């Protein structure tokens, strides 16, 4: 019986057997990925090699370099334009502020000029009709401000617009009583320079002994040669 079984297994009619090598699935996938990567590397190398042969990659690099240079130039030009614009804006603001100041000063000068013209017209109207064309004193006033001090104001005028400029000085003389006796006093520095074309407002303070009783203050206007041109007395 054993002999029959052995002969059947060894004979041609025995069952066929297939021998297969067994690989793990991760290893199989690794092999497949390696093959795909190798194929992709070959494809990329072939593409780059083809571009080098055709000269496409070289032109693209040169164009990219040129574009970068142009972009840098445009940025620099933009910075210069912005700087010029900022400078021009600053200059424009400064010019505008200067113009506003000049306009304000011009308005102030015009207002002062109008005021001076109005004052001149008013002062000219103060002159009585038929007044001489010589120098005159108008509005002479004096008042005691403190013991030993007198404040005075006056207006010296030269009628007419064609008069020559007057150059001279004025002197002050105080009169009254001191210790019950008549008293007259001319301050040592009482002579002051006087210069005018048409009119001049004069004001100041005169010091005197506090014990003196001042009743009048006289002013005399003298020309450059010492000649008397006008005089007037104010009462206190």
Burial class (CB in 10 A: 0-12, 13-18, 19+), 191: middle
Q: Cα-flanking dihedrals φ and ψ of residue 171, to 5°?
A: -125, 145
Listed residue (215, 130, 141, 228) closest to 178, CA to CA: 215
**From CA 120, how far away is CA 155, in angstroms rounded?**
11
Strand partners, 233: 218
Which are the contacts of 147, defined by CB distance < 8 A and separation ≥ 6? 210
pLDDT of residue 108: 87
Q: How many CA atoms lie within 13 A of 95 on its CB side?
A: 6
Average pLDDT for consecutive 10-residue bins of the chain (236 residues)?
A: 56 53 64 71 67 58 81 85 82 85 87 74 55 75 88 85 82 91 85 86 89 91 90 90
Q: Cα-flanking dihedrals φ and ψ of residue 23, to 5°?
A: -110, 145
pLDDT of residue 129: 47
**From CA 234, how far away is CA 140, in angstroms rounded?**
6
Q: How many residues does the chain have?
A: 236
pLDDT of residue 130: 46
pLDDT of residue 175: 93
**Sign of the Cα pseudo-torsion (72, 77, 78, 79, in order):** positive
Q: Cα-flanking dihedrals φ and ψ of residue 60, to 5°?
A: -65, -40
Q: Please tell me whether residue 162 adopts helix, strand or coil conformation.
A: coil
The answer to whether the beta carbons of residues 192 and 205 sit under 8 Å apart is no
pLDDT of residue 176: 92
The answer to whether the beta carbons of residues 191 and 206 sit under 8 Å apart is no
Q: Cα-flanking dihedrals φ and ψ of residue 199, to 5°?
A: -155, 155
25 sits in which H/E element: helix 25-54
Q: What is the pTM of this model?
A: 0.46
Could you give the angle at which helices 25-54 and 56-126 cross, rounded to 10 degrees?
Answer: 70
């Amino acid at each position: 019986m054993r002999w029959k079984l052995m002969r059947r297994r060894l004979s041609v009619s025995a069952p066929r057997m297939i021998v297969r090598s067994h690989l793990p699935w991760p290893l199989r996938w690794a092999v497949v990925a390696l093959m795909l990567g190798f194929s992709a590397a070959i494809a990329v190398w072939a593409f780059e090699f083809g571009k080098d042969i055709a000269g496409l990659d070289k032109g693209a690099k040169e164009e990219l370099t040129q574009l970068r240079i142009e972009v840098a130039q445009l940025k620099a030009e933009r910075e210069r334009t912005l700087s010029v614009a900022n400078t021009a804006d600053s200059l424009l603001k400064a010019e505008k502020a200067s113009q506003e100041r000049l306009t304000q000063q011009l308005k102030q000068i015009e207002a002062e000029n109008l005021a001076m013209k109005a004052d001149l017209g008013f002062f000219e109207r103060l002159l009585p009709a038929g007044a001489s064309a010589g120098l005159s004193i108008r509005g002479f006033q004096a008042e005691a401000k403190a013991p030993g001090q007198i404040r005075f104001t006056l207006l010296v005028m030269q009628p007419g617009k064609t008069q020559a400029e007057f150059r001279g000085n004025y002197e002050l003389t105080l009169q009254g009583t001191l210790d019950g006796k008549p008293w007259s006093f001319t301050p040592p520095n009482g002579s002051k320079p006087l210069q005018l074309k048409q009119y001049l407002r004069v004001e100041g303070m005169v010091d005197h002994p506090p014990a003196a009783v001042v009743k009048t203050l006289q002013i005399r206007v003298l020309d450059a040669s010492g000649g008397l041109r006008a005089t007037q007395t104010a009462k206190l």
